[in-house]
Amino acid sequence: MRPLIGTSTKMNLTSSEAGSYFDALLPRLVGATGCDLFVLPPFTSIWVARERLSGSPIAWGGQDVHPAESGAHTGDVSAAMLVDLGCTYVEVGHSERRRGYGETDGLVAAKVAQILQHGMTPILCVGEPRKEAPEAAIDYVLGQVARGLAHVRPSDLARVVIAYEPVWAIGLGSVTAPPDHVAAVHRAVRRWLNRTGTDGGGIVTAPRVIYGGSVDGTTADELLGADAVDGLFVGRAALDPVQFEVIVGAGQRRAAGSRLKEAPTSTSAHG
Element (H, E) at 139: helix 134-148
Contact 234, 7 (CB under 8 A): yes
Burial 187-216, CB ≥16 within 10 A → b, else e: bbbbebbeeebeeeeeeebebbbbbbbbbb
Cα-based distances in Å from 213 to 87, 90, 142, 258: 24, 18, 18, 24
Neighbours of 16 (CB within 10 A): 10
Question: How many angstroms separate the CA atoms of 179 and 224, rounded?
Answer: 9
Question: How many angstroms separate the CA atoms of 175 and 168, rounded?
Answer: 8
Indicate which residue of 91, 103, 128, 165 is catalytic. Answer: 165
To 10 degrees, what angle do helices 46-53 and 15-29 make?
Answer: 30
Indicate which residue of 66, 94, 118, 186 is catalytic. Answer: 94
- Check if 165 is active-site: yes
Please, how many CA atoms are within 13 Å of residue 265, restricted to the half-sphere of its CB? 2
Amino acid identity of residue 97, one-letter, is R
Question: How many angstroms separate the CA atoms of 128 and 101, rounded?
Answer: 17
- Check if 151 is active-site: no
Amino acid identity of residue 87, one-letter, is C
Question: How many angstroms separate the CA atoms of 265 and 267, rounded?
Answer: 7
Which positions are annotated as active-site residues?
94, 165
